[in-house]
Structure 1
Amino acid sequence: MTDDHEEPPADGNDAVSDDDDAVRDDAVHDDEVGWSDGPGRDIVVGLDGSVDSERALHWAVREAVLRGTGVRAVLAWASAGPAQDGSRPPPATSPEHPRWTAQWILNEAVDRVRADEPYARIVARTVFGPPVRMLLAEADGAEMLVVGARGATPSGRMPTGSVSLACLHGATVPVVIVHGGSAGWEGHRPIVAGVDGSASSQVALAWAVREARLRAARLRVVHVWTPPPALGDGAGAAGEEVFRDAARALLDDAVRVLRGPAGAGVEVEPVLVWGGVSRELISEAARAQMLVLGARGRGGFAELVLGSTSSQCVAHAGCPVAVVRGAAGGAALEGPKVSANREAGRPRAHTSVP
């Protein structure tokens, strides 16, 4: 990929456009290169030079093809020199100025992905400011935000990087965490959606239905239930039966709408599982293209994103994990929509295996 760097002005200051679009939330956006189709619901990917973030870009490019949109690859950088007021970058002539390094890292990653994905439609941009704040601002109104599980900073040694977790906390759009080694495009594998009866899990289920339809993949709708503790008075078996029946009814309610137009074209498999929520969902994810969860739930999914269930799934699932935010008034399940024919040379969705 070729990129046209501007030489720093003679006075040593970065050129800053007077156009209002150049500044958002006191951030200076510099060096935009690549394809752009104007404003729209594109997929935003956070890059940082790590292997996982580059895998995330690969994943996002293929996802964008299915959704008929583009990808915005974003790398946030900040000065290592004296503290700034945050309104603009430090002088480009400063030895601490990492702007050119950031652009080089970004260009190298995008070039490698374009070599593997020649149909890629990518806008590559660097932004100045704290990575989490910049990524959340870029992703506002986007189709989704995609990040790698582990970053390039020392915290990247953790199971899931601090930037990824912070994005899960603050994003208003679906966030997909891509793990190293998790391709997420095995055609014979299903999409797995965890449901718990909450409004948020229903919104996530609607998102998973669309994903399964785009990929021509099976959709496994999974509800995990845990029996009550043994009482020791002979009532344990009867109590467990009541809990099992209630869990089955919850799962049936979740998938009932999918038997109509909302689930047309998607092979739906309801799955009732006994055990610990995190453990069973991670087990399901080991055989899936993607695990989809609601951002807030009840019961086993209580305080998802901030709670242990999501933290465990995001950290240990063997496939990309999508966390979808929603509420009672969120998106409802919809029937299929006819999409335009794919352009020649783009990948096709895999045929599902019964």
Structure 2
Amino acid sequence: MSGQVVVGVDGSASSLAAVEAAATDARLRGAALRVVHAFVCPAMHVPSGPSPLGPQDGGLRQEVDRLVAEAVERARTAAPGIDVGHAVVSGEPLATLETESRTAELVVVGSRGMGGFVGLLVGSTAVHLAAHGRCPVLVVREEPRTDGPVILGVDGSAAAGAATDFAFTEAGLRGAPLVGLHAWTTWNAPLPTPETGPFAAAPGVLAQDEERLVSEALAGHRERFPDVAVTTKAVRGRTRETLIEASRSAQLLVVGARGRGGFGGLLLGSVSQAMLHHAHCPVAVVRGT
């Protein structure tokens, strides 16, 4: 496997954790790592050099160069031997990273940046990039765990194939087990018909149908990834609460950008947004092709 993993940096603790995660993923993929910082000040015509009244090594540009150098060094320490490049791009972070995502196989960002408001669990750049990125987007909080399974949120939607591919690939690269997790309620049941009577299914049949949905969603991928240990679970409960609880013991949670319950026109569904805000592990959001 080859290609490029891109990580956005801004000097925050969250972005440095993202750098380490991105470097590790790049090493596993056999890909190069590109460290990118979006430098807003030139685009806003704000002077970036040192002040005439201050030290010659001061100024915004010098500070940006320092934080990028720190990120590059952090990447090389986390994954020695990988090819690390870097760029300081004049522009707004979201637009810059969206452009980078067009040629990357993965974009990694921290959950909150330097501009985050106190009390927010995830920053606007992470949420918007998950919706608009052209490749899978991995959102990392500080100190992600390196053990536990990769959890894939399964909903049976037609757009979920790309997320399933990504989850199996990550589990294989990490040598981690994969858990295909589907949450269902009685709202999943089909409507009654004259043939079925007042109930759409006999007791227990709905649970069996939901378990079958998970198995069928992963069936072809099991054959393509024979070395990945796979467990499937169909749990009666609310999707958001079920996935958030499962994320406590996971090293990665993978969800599609939109599930089968999404409204037309939305780029990011309510479940994927909830995972970005509340999951206890890094979250990968994968848009359908």
Same fold (TM over 0.5): yes
| Partner residue, 2:193 | none
User: Which one-letter code corresponds to 1:41 in the other structure?
Assistant: G
Is 1:308 matched up with 2:267? no
Pick the aligned partner of 1:322 from 238, 262, 284: 284
Shift in Å, 1:289: 1.4
User: Which one-letter code corresponds to 1:217 in the other structure?
Assistant: A
Shift in Å, 1:91: 7.2
User: Which one-letter code corresponds to 1:145 in the other structure?
Assistant: V
| Partner residue, 1:129 | 91
Pick the aligned partner of 1:209 from 168, 172, 175: 168
Conserved in 2, the CA contact under 8 Å of 1:295 and 1:325?
yes
Shift in Å, 1:305: 5.5
| Partner residue, 1:7 | none
Distance (whole Å) between structure 1 residues aligned to residue 153 and residue 169 of structure 2: 15
For structure 1, which runs of at least 5 residues remain unmatched after alignment? 1-39, 230-234, 328-354
CA-to-aligned-CA distance 1:77-123 (integer Å, 9 cap, x gap): 1228x944xxxx86757779622221111112322443454334311
SS at match of 2:213: helix
| Partner residue, 2:36 | 74
Conserved in 1, the CA contact under 8 Å of 2:23 and 2:76?
no
Q: CA RMSD in A?
A: 2.8
Distance (whole Å) between structure 1 residues aligned to residue 137 and residue 102 of structure 2: 11
For structure 2, which runs of at least 5 residues remain unmatched after alignment? 53-57, 189-197
Distance 1:77 1:157, change over 3 A: farther
* Aligned positions, number: 275
User: Which one-letter code corresponds to 2:242 in the other structure?
Assistant: E
Conserved in 2, the CA contact under 8 Å of 1:151 and 1:161?
yes
Distance (whole Å) between structure 2 residues aligned to residue 44 and residue 259 of structure 1: 29
Q: Output aligned runs, 1:1-354, within 5 Å.
A: 41-79=3-41, 83-84=44-45, 92=49, 98-155=60-117, 157-183=119-145, 185-186=146-147, 189-228=148-187, 241-260=204-223, 262-299=224-261, 306-327=268-289
TM-score, normalising length from structure 2? 0.85
Distance 1:105 1:265, change over 3 A: same
Conserved in 2, the CA contact under 8 Å of 1:195 and 1:202?
no
Q: Which region of structure 1 is more displaced relative to structure 2, 274-283 or 106-115?
A: 106-115
Conserved in 2, the CA contact under 8 Å of 1:224 and 1:274?
yes
User: Which one-letter code corresponds to 2:221 in the other structure?
Assistant: L
Distance 1:202 1:240, change over 3 A: farther
CA-to-aligned-CA distance 1:116-157 (integer Å, 9 cap, x gap): 543343112211111111111122120110000011114364
Conserved in 1, the CA contact under 8 Å of 2:35 and 2:71?
no
Distance 1:256 1:54, change over 3 A: same
Which one has the largest radius of gyration? Answer: 1
Distance (whole Å) between structure 1 residues aligned to residue 139 and residue 278 of structure 2: 11
Distance (whole Å) between structure 1 residues aligned to residue 89 and residue 113 of structure 2: 17
Shift in Å, 1:177: 0.4
| Partner residue, 2:192 | none
Conserved in 2, the CA contact under 8 Å of 1:305 and 1:311?
no
Conserved in 1, the CA contact under 8 Å of 2:35 and 2:84?
yes
Conserved in 1, the CA contact under 8 Å of 2:165 and 2:221?
no
Distance 1:182 1:240, change over 3 A: farther
CA-to-aligned-CA distance 1:288-336 (integer Å, 9 cap, x gap): 111111122203x667863321111111111111111113xxxxxxxxx
User: Which one-letter code corresponds to 1:148 in the other structure?
Assistant: G
Conserved in 2, the CA contact under 8 Å of 1:227 and 1:244?
no
